[in-house]
Structure 1
Amino acid sequence: MKITEISINKPIFTTMMITTLVVLGAAAYLRLGIDLMPNVEFPYVMVQTSLRGAGPEEIESSVTKPLEEAVNTISGIEDINSTSFEGLSLVMIKFVLEKNGDIAAQEVRDKVNSVLAQLPQGTNPPVIGKLDIGAQAVLNVVVSGNRDLIDLTQIAKKKIKENIETVSGVGAIDIVGGREREIHLVVNPLKLSAMNLSIRQVKDAITQQNIEIPGGKVEQKEKEFVLRTLGRIADVKDFNDIVIATINGAQVRVSDIGRVEDTGARMTTASYYNGKPSVTLVIKKQSGTNTVAVVKNIKERIDELQGTIPPGVETTIIGDQSLFIKDSVNTVTEHLVLGAVFAALMVLLFLGDFRSTIISSLAIPTSLIGTLIFMQAAGFTINTMTLLGLTIAVGIVVDDAIVMLENIYRHMEEHKMSPLKAALDGSREIGFAVVAMSAALLVIFIPLAYMGGIIGRFLKSYGLTIAFAVAISVFVALTLTPMLCSLFLKIKPGAKTRLEKFTDRINEYLADKYILMLEWALARRKRMMVYGVLIMISMVPLFMFLGKDFMPADDTGLYQINITAPEGTSLGMMKQIFAQVETETRQLPHVKSILSSIGTGTGSHFGGSSANEGYVLVELDDLEDRDLPMQKLLLASREMMSKYKGLRVAVMPAGGFGGGDAELMYNISGPDLQKLNEYSSAIAAKLRTIKGAVDVDTSFSYAKPEYRVEIDRSRA
């Protein structure tokens, strides 16, 4: 082949060409992101609409139904799921995988805008966005100390949150357990009634007298001034002096009908770290960004901020997702390096020559490093799937180089050719066979990139990574390997070395055994055909006995206890429940820290949040420091929570891939909610009897308890 002849005749050019490949690959490695799994985008769009004070039935009929009918005409929809909460409507639209997520979100936005006029008065504008699984929480920053919760919230928001938001790759930061400062006016209704005043008059007076109004400009001959009317109240006690009305010439002030309090806002969420009140910053990354790099930058920024944080206030990081990712990637990388080393040792074992081993083994690092160039160009990251592809490719990329080297060596040994002549003739003779052999491998792995379904999205980077490595290995086998053979490959005259004698004995022993097996098989052709058919048929029952899962369960050292109390449970009662759960969880072995989040939902990818929901995040000791796997501790937590009969509890791993969501869900639909509740409860009861099924629950929940005011229209 022409490329081989050029490579052999111009070794300096070949060396520079391969060096360029390696340098570009090393540069690509520094730019590649590190993540647990490939960045896969699913075409889900969520419409979130709120109507304060409305019950679930009203939300369903007046908000959810019109939105569903509007978006139902969009092409490419696979199914629509909606959930109506108190004051909140969530509509989840699932499109076919081939649909572009950005286009789907824009089409939903257009359809929703067309029905905004049909929504009830007071409905907030719908929030429409893609369900981005990649934009997940990467860590929690817990702010705690010997300060009031209002002060902690102010420190967490002003000194930490606003600084971390500027870190590259940070998508959003949610505050859990915070309490903002508020000025409360406590009015005496008896005094209001005695003075014939309404609460609206009090509100209007405060609004009108606590305002800053721009007054335009004041121009003079030589200067120009900005005119402002400074009407904002600077001190809390000055609110008492606001004039509400004038009655019979006397001014009625706020102090005459009530009092002013400098306090905090009503709490809707609560956070406890190891039993102490705290403020938690839940930090989410942007989709497609490098999780490890984002977390590293966040930690560096927090270290820089330590000097500005007041004494007595501590910041603690819990739920760091980068630790598990780095451990997983390092483990696979370790196996990759060991695989390359053992592949080289096996080549040495069978060739028995150090020169030949080095020449053929150079194809491994050269091909793998060159593969990184194409991985970066394809937008891949260093993750479990791409590293798995590189690990598989270790044993493949060296094959082409061995075939090329063996043929060149045969020409030198049998035809007594010089290394240069043997390299030219040997490569010319075997070049197209090497290309054909690699093309057969490409035919196997490239179709993985075009596999349909969700699994195809994950296998794309795996298949293409192997294909890139195989293609690079062909290039190396046709250029670098024959060039090195022409320069360094030699046949030593005289007696063989001890290593060569040892490899000869191994090869002769294996060849003899292989010939015996081959002769036995050829003498029993029909029986071998039957054996072959039986082996293929046995795949079916063996496959049925094997366990099946999308991803293996990993020990992330982090799990969460999702808790849902009966509807109407107050935040104060939830604090008592979580305090009890924390106390019992702390008794389990190897528990390092506990973070409770109340009123924030259960931490799944979608869903509403209310005061009766929350989760306990449990961080365990490092895997090497404990003698119990996380699955055993999950079972212990489930047994511990089984005595809480009035709570709906789920214990599941957190972090890793897919943590925090149920593994199996049945969707039951129909027009009658009571029948749906009856059927779903019956199915749930049946599922609980299945071995291995845990945390079986339904999404049905009764409306929050309410007081109703019925108007007597004749008297009104």
Structure 2
Amino acid sequence: MHALARFFIRRPVGSAMLAAAIVLAGLLALRLLPVAPLPRVDFPVIQVRASLPGASPESMASTVAAPLERALGSIAGVTSIRSSSNQGSTGVTLQFDLNRDIDDAAREVQAAINAVRGQLPSGMVGNPSFVKVNPSQAPIMALALSSPRLPPSALYDNASTVLAQKLAQVAGVGEVTVDGSSLPAVRVQVQPQALAHRGLSLDDVRRAIADANAWRPVGAVERDASRWQIALPAPLRTAADFSALVVRNEGGALVRLSDVAEVSDSVENRYTAGYHNNRPAVVLLVSRRPGANIVQTVDAIHAQLPQLRALLPADTQLSVVMDRSPGIRATLREGRFTLVLSCLLVMAVVWAFLGSLRTALIPALALPVSLVGALAAMWWLGFSLNNLSVMALIVAAGLVVDDAIVVLENIQRHLERARAALAATGRREIGRRTVWRAAFTGAGEVGFTLLAMNGALIVVFVSTLFMGGVVERLFREFSLTLVAAMLISLAVSVTLTPALCAHGLPAGPRTRAPGPLARLIAT
């Protein structure tokens, strides 16, 4: 410490360049740091989904959910299994240990699904599928699409084919989920009595509908000098098209689909609906990609809204119903205000004790260098600006100034001793070289004290990293941000602070009395 202090005292430009480099790195990192309400905590969760059309919730639970739970429960690292069975579908949610790699867990889930496939009902349309879920990636914005004229199915079609695709291209957007309705579909409700009266079965109706929309090769028929082009009719789209579909033709007696069933225009899923201001609406949930800046992503979406509204029908309204950025902005604004206020209060207390504004500026300059430098460490560690990391900087404002005060006070003690020794000889000017000697002597003497102070604080805050679980993940950024600020403060206290003392403290006689707080304590 003594040699390091001597080096920078003799080369004040070097200490100034080091401080400037720390500040510039912190300011650059401030522009690159993502913004979030809380630190990113990833929960390894996988959701398995399976469907069996027509099966009751009881059948889904006993024939699909139970075999899946037995197979998936044997995977290592599973902490909880939850299943939910509905009409024709079931979902099994697996939560793994926080230290479990989600990709390895996904491979084991796929292997378990393949192994249990033989125990599942044969009528399933396909194998069960799974998706990786991160509960911490909550939607950052919700948009509602409504219209007084268009049905929800048409709104859903516009939202899924136009809006969702455009929003997914915005920088920072990770996923866009459309809910509140489903794609248009034709619903056929067969009447069993009408089928029995005409001697038809459900399979006859199914075959007629499937054959009507079958895609067959288009060709030509030739006979002698004649040639006929064969073209398929347009696929059936609406209920009116399906109503005229011929189910059976016997001797000219046509049985159409409308004779044995009620055909209506509907949606694929009748059990989902959305409303906005007492009007049917489709909701688009926008989630950010991992590491993206929420505020910048929301601003980019707001900038795209006029273009998105221009792509919609004239009477369609696209409204923002949920936006997480105002709360985040307000929280960070309050955090910045509190941080600035704490720095000003620390400087005021130092000035009140020392009684000299010139002397109080030395720890005041060391304080922002340490806090701004901590931003560079946050970016290097992959952290974000959130409530806990900003709170760590606020707490650090009262801790990092201690290093500069300890160095400053010890240097002041040596200067006062030198002034007292010269006063006995009648001399009042101690000289700049004496100030330099007091600076590197005072900084060298408290080197071990600084290491002990910061080491004790670092051990206290680093201990949270050994707690494990969600607490450790949540407070990791808080503790490491504090540690980074204290380490930078330690470096600044043995480089910049002695140099500022050597070239900023007055070499003449002491003309100012101690500060009011110092006089109050002395009495």
TM-score, structure 2 normalization: 0.85
- Say whether residues 1:473 and 2:489 are aligned partners: yes
Question: Aligned Cα RMSD in Å?
Answer: 3.1
Contact 2:140 2:325 in 1 (8 A): yes
Equivalenced residue count is: 496
Q: Which residue of 2 aligns with 1:30?
A: 31
What's the CA shift for 1:211?
Answer: 4.2
What's the CA shift for 1:197?
Answer: 4.8
Q: Which residue of 2 aligns with 1:318?
A: 321
Please give the alpha-carbon distance, in whole angstroms, between the structure 2 residues aligned to 1:244 and 1:453: 62
Matching residue within 364, 367, 376 for 2:367: 364
Please give the alpha-carbon distance, in whole angstroms, between the structure 2 residues aligned to 1:190 and 1:91: 39
Please give the alpha-carbon distance, in whole angstroms, between the structure 2 residues aligned to 1:282 and 1:228: 46
- Say whether residues 1:144 and 2:146 are aligned partners: yes
Q: Which residue of 2 aligns with 1:232?
A: 234
What's the CA shift for 1:47?
Answer: 2.7
Please give the alpha-carbon distance, in whole angstroms, between the structure 2 residues aligned to 1:181 and 1:78: 40
Contact 2:184 2:265 in 1 (8 A): yes
State the secondary structure of the residue aligned to 2:46.
strand
State the secondary structure of the residue aligned to 1:114.
helix
> Could you list the per-position Cα deviations for residues 15-55 of structure 1 after superposition, in whole angstroms to 9, with x for gaps in the alignment?
22221211111111111111111111223433333333333
Alignment of 1:44-193 (within 5 A): 44-123=45-124, 124-149=126-151, 150-178=153-181, 180-183=183-186
- Say whether residues 1:376 and 2:379 are aligned partners: yes
State the secondary structure of the residue aligned to 2:100.
coil
User: Kindly tell me: are residues 168 and 109 of structure 1, through their superposed partners in 2, closer, same or farther at Cα, counting changes over 3 Å?
Assistant: farther
What's the CA shift for 1:256?
Answer: 8.3
User: Kindly tell me: are residues 13 and 174 of structure 1, through their superposed partners in 2, closer, same or farther at Cα, counting changes over 3 Å?
Assistant: same
Contact 2:186 2:237 in 1 (8 A): no
What's the CA shift for 1:469?
Answer: 0.4
State the secondary structure of the residue aligned to 1:53.
coil
Alignment of 1:542-561 (within 5 A): none
Please give the alpha-carbon distance, in whole angstroms, between the structure 1 residues aligned to 2:66 and 2:519: 78
Alignment of 1:328-477 (within 5 A): 328-415=331-418, 416=430, 418=432, 419-477=435-493
Please give the alpha-carbon distance, in whole angstroms, between the structure 1 residues aligned to 2:455 and 2:206: 79
Please give the alpha-carbon distance, in whole angstroms, between the structure 2 residues aligned to 1:7 and 1:495: 28
User: Kindly tell me: are residues 171 and 191 of structure 1, through their superposed partners in 2, closer, same or farther at Cα, counting changes over 3 Å?
Assistant: same
Matching residue within 511, 516, 521 for 1:510: 521
Please give the alpha-carbon distance, in whole angstroms, between the structure 1 residues aligned to 2:258 and 2:307: 50
What's the CA shift for 1:373?
Answer: 1.3
Please give the alpha-carbon distance, in whole angstroms, between the structure 1 residues aligned to 2:121 and 2:166: 39
One-letter amino acid matched to 1:509: L
What's the CA shift for 1:345?
Answer: 1.1
State the secondary structure of the residue aligned to 2:141.
strand
Contact 1:142 1:279 in 2 (8 A): yes
239-248 vs 391-400, greater mean Cα deviation: 239-248
Contact 1:212 1:231 in 2 (8 A): no
> Could you list the per-position Cα deviations for residues 153-177 of structure 1 after superposition, in whole angstroms to 9, with x for gaps in the alignment?
3333333222112223434333333
Please give the alpha-carbon distance, in whole angstroms, between the structure 1 residues aligned to 2:276 and 2:340: 41
What's the CA shift for 1:310?
Answer: 2.5
Contact 1:172 1:284 in 2 (8 A): yes
What's the CA shift for 1:401?
Answer: 0.9
What's the CA shift for 1:228?
Answer: 10
Any stretches of 5+ residues in structure 2 without a counterpart? 220-228, 419-429
User: Kindly tell me: are residues 399 and 316 of structure 1, through their superposed partners in 2, closer, same or farther at Cα, counting changes over 3 Å?
Assistant: same
Higher helix share: 2
Percent identical among aligned pairs is 31
190-199 vs 281-290, greater mean Cα deviation: 190-199
Contact 1:413 1:491 in 2 (8 A): no
One-letter amino acid matched to 1:304: Q
441-450 vs 65-74, greater mean Cα deviation: 65-74
What's the CA shift for 1:350?
Answer: 0.9
Contact 2:274 2:282 in 1 (8 A): yes
- Say whether residues 1:489 and 2:502 are aligned partners: no
> Could you list the per-position Cα deviations for residues 423-467 of structure 1 after superposition, in whole angstroms to 9, with x for gaps in the alignment?
222222222322222122112111222222321221111111100
One-letter amino acid matched to 2:138: Q
Contact 1:59 1:85 in 2 (8 A): yes
What's the CA shift for 1:186?
Answer: 7.6
TM-score, structure 1 normalization: 0.63
Tell which structure's C-alpha radius of gyration is larger: 2
What's the CA shift for 1:77?
Answer: 3.2
State the secondary structure of the residue aligned to 2:446.
helix
State the secondary structure of the residue aligned to 2:36.
coil
